[in-house]
Structure 1
Amino acid sequence: MPVRKKSKFEQWFSFSRHQRRFGADKVYAQLASVDIEKLKSDIIAGDQIQYTHGSAKDLNEHIEQLKHEFVGQPALSHYHASLIVLIRREVDVEENFEKFKALWMSERDFLLSTLNIRWLISACDTFLDLHDDVTLKATLMNAVVLINTLKLQETERYLCDQTTVMCEEKRDRLPQERVTLFDGTSAFVVGTDDTLRNMRWRLDQICKIHPLGMIVLEIFDRLQQEQNNTVYLRFKKQHTREKTRWW
């Protein structure tokens, strides 16, 4: 059983919960009236991208630190992240979630083209926590499960000295015999298997149900790209049967 999530009543007595909302007034003054078109064209200045590790307890300080993640990118990306932070720290949740929803419905394609996977998944998590559309929540859960599974697999690879050398003898044997992995699951037949193609077909269908299902498809497509060295890309490079391609 996972750890029980604290009730809202229990959360109320947490000092750290209240502490993480300090500085909200200053943040609100900055975000009170935003010009979306201007934020799309304004580029955040800086020398290099620096990702935050952990978060400052002061809300204003944390949001300022987040700007370093978006150096060279549209200010709208930082605004999107700021809304998520406000929602996570329970600052006027309903009002900020309405802004967040409106932003995604009006600027979906722009956000898909500018946000990295980290913030696309944060967007999915935010919709999962607060949206009342069960279909959308079920669709976006695909992306969260997909990325968290890869996060574990790629972390294990990092901890194991990042070895990616494939045993050709074992690979060539896969089409000839069934290799059991765990609990009745068999190994992916590298080069010809149709498992991922069939999964992609189903993913395309479910993601058509809601306009924001495109977030899931965008994330899945990025996992096949050269700059993201994931197991999906590595198996893509080994794939030989055009009929069963999944990308």
Structure 2
Amino acid sequence: MAEQKKTTYPGGFDAIVAQMETRMHPFIYGPGEALPSLDVDFQPLKRKLMDPAAPEVAGSTSTYARKYRDLAQEFEGEPALLHLHGLLVANLRRHDQPAHTIALFVRLWQEEAAFLIDHLDARWLVSAATTFGDHGVSEAQRSLGQSLTVLFGMMKLYETERLFSGSPPDQAFVWQRKSAKRLAMQMDAYAIMGGGLDVNMLGRLWQDADRDAVICPLVRRLLSLLIEDDKTVFRRLRTMRRRKEKQKAAEAPPERPKKQRNPVPVPERSQITDPTRIKWGTVSLIKAPLDKILRFAAHHLALGAHRVHIYLDDPDPITVEALSLHPQIDVTACDADYWAAQKRGRMDTHRMRQVWVATQAYNMTDCHWLAHIDVDEFLLPSLTMVQHLAQVSPDKIALHLPPAEQLATGAGSEAFKLAPRSVGAPATVLETIYPTFGMHLRGGFISHIEGKLFVRTGVEGLRFGIHAIHWQGAPATNIQAQPRLYLGHAHAPTWDEFMADMEFRMAHGSYRKTDEDEKFRFSDVVDFLIEAEGEAGLQAFYKEVCTLTPQLAKKLTENNMLLEYPLHLDDKLAQVFGPYMEG
């Protein structure tokens, strides 16, 4: 006896058909209930607005009345013609319906296609196409309707499955994610670079729409919506194709033009070389717990900051009051009233809000120098900060702060690692220092390697970026670097903090890849580890790359890339804020 093959649906197609049939019983109409006649005048129904109480079927318990009420609520305040269209579609999904239902549905689309397309959403337009597929009065109506039904039905299935991939629907997969397995039913995979399956499918449907004047507007509208949507497999595959085309075009790139110089004139008011006269400060847009903000402020005030400008992205009165106690902290609550007073209103992204408030602070600060840094970033000078600033050449508008990424030490003192370029080492050392993951990490960091800037104030029209400053429409170029001055970045100093911020950073923050980024980046490492090994894989990564083990300390030291710099934040907190908190 042959072994019975396992099927996706227990019971096979007998069970599939039985389940499908359960929702196809015809509506039961109560006394006096009926669809409008075939010659109903559509014009009054375009002007009449639906009452969700559905007084037309008040008191009736028929299945028709229940559907009438459901649709009346869905189309509340909308033209009654849309409600009629919904009733016709609902009836035509059943095994039986009033004799003129099909003819009335076709007449409705024949005479009022433009109105329906303007007022129905995509879901109802797809339902209309399905209805044509089942009940069209011409072969073209049935063929096109059935084709669109299959197309949008399969899209709904695979786009639903994609929700569990962890990637947003508008983000194409990277080329590195390939599987050696063949597709189901022994099909060959679609050739992303040269394949024509997508254009053949869509183009044929577009052309076939001309075969029937009634369904043509509906078909063309649905296909137009499809190719305009950036969250479909068609858009993602085209994005992947464009990426690959760009990658091929760049295989033998022409010589890159030299970066144009854009030196910013240095105002006389900030050309101060006497360390005792230099006033410097920081500016930050912050959304963090109060104790973290206080430690950040205390560190920089202890270093000699004249002003710490803090803009609170999600302000609460307690935080505002606590920060306002110190006279050198300039705190701004970025609440609804604050953003309403800005000419641009509240910007959508955190990065845009960051550069906006930094530029505002630049234009009003009483400091000679201003650093735009985050709440988890700490200046790590080897001299006093004013000594570093006094040594900047008078023709330089800014001082570059290369990053140092904090390591997990498990102790009370802080240690940071440097990128190879900060110490003049080749990037190839990363594969020695981090043997498993080094080749996939820019500078061996999981955070930014661009660093930040300390900028002289007083330049009219200067704008802050995240890692740059802009003047007269271009990035400033007269920027100086100094040895042994770093910006310590406490990006993920503990495993718990690393995991707590992971979801946001992958979706919206520093780990998110752009559509233009072809290279295998940190986000790809995370995705791969989660898929292959789960949290244990991420823990192994964190130990190798972010934890100061004896082995890592030895390798970093050998390459001059270990910076031990205790921050003593608790001591600074007591020193700076103790008198104000006690009072």
* TM-score scaled by length of structure 1: 0.69
1:229 to 228, 231, 239: 231
The reply on whether 1:220 has 2:223 as its aligned counterpart is yes
2:134 and 2:145 in contact (8 A); partners too: no
1:21 and 1:91 in contact (8 A); partners too: no
| C-alpha displacement of 1:193 | 4.7
Match of 1:155 in 2: 160
Range with bigger deviation, 147-156 or 109-118? 109-118
The reply on whether 1:37 has 2:43 as its aligned counterpart is yes
Q: Deviations over 1:38-80 (max 9, x none)?
A: 222334467xxxxxxxxx9721122111122223532211111
| C-alpha displacement of 1:166 | 4.1
Distance 1:181 1:120 in 2: 31
Match of 2:89 in 1: 84
Distance 1:229 1:72 in 2: 30
**Which has the larger helix fraction?**
1
Match of 1:185 in 2: 188
Match of 1:61 in 2: 66
| Greater C-alpha Rg | 2
Match of 2:200 in 1: 198
The runs of 5 or more residues in structure 1 that have no matched partner are 47-55, 242-247
Distance 1:167 1:67 in 2: 42
Q: Deviations over 1:109-144 (max 9, x none)?
A: 222222223322322333333334223211221110
| Distance of aligned partners of 1:22 and 1:116 in 2 relative to their CA distance in 1, 3 Å threshold | same
2:133 and 2:149 in contact (8 A); partners too: no
| Distance of aligned partners of 1:216 and 1:161 in 2 relative to their CA distance in 1, 3 Å threshold | same
2:172 and 2:240 in contact (8 A); partners too: no
2:126 and 2:149 in contact (8 A); partners too: yes
Match of 1:100 in 2: 105
**Which has the larger strand fraction?**
2
What is the RMSD computed on CA atoms of the aligned residues? Answer: 3.6
Distance 2:162 2:32 in 1: 43
The runs of 5 or more residues in structure 2 that have no matched partner are 1-11, 53-60, 246-583
| Distance of aligned partners of 1:168 and 1:127 in 2 relative to their CA distance in 1, 3 Å threshold | closer
2:192 and 2:237 in contact (8 A); partners too: no
| C-alpha displacement of 1:145 | 0.8
2:45 and 2:80 in contact (8 A); partners too: yes
| Distance of aligned partners of 1:73 and 1:237 in 2 relative to their CA distance in 1, 3 Å threshold | farther
| Distance of aligned partners of 1:137 and 1:169 in 2 relative to their CA distance in 1, 3 Å threshold | closer
| Distance of aligned partners of 1:37 and 1:147 in 2 relative to their CA distance in 1, 3 Å threshold | same
| C-alpha displacement of 1:147 | 0.4
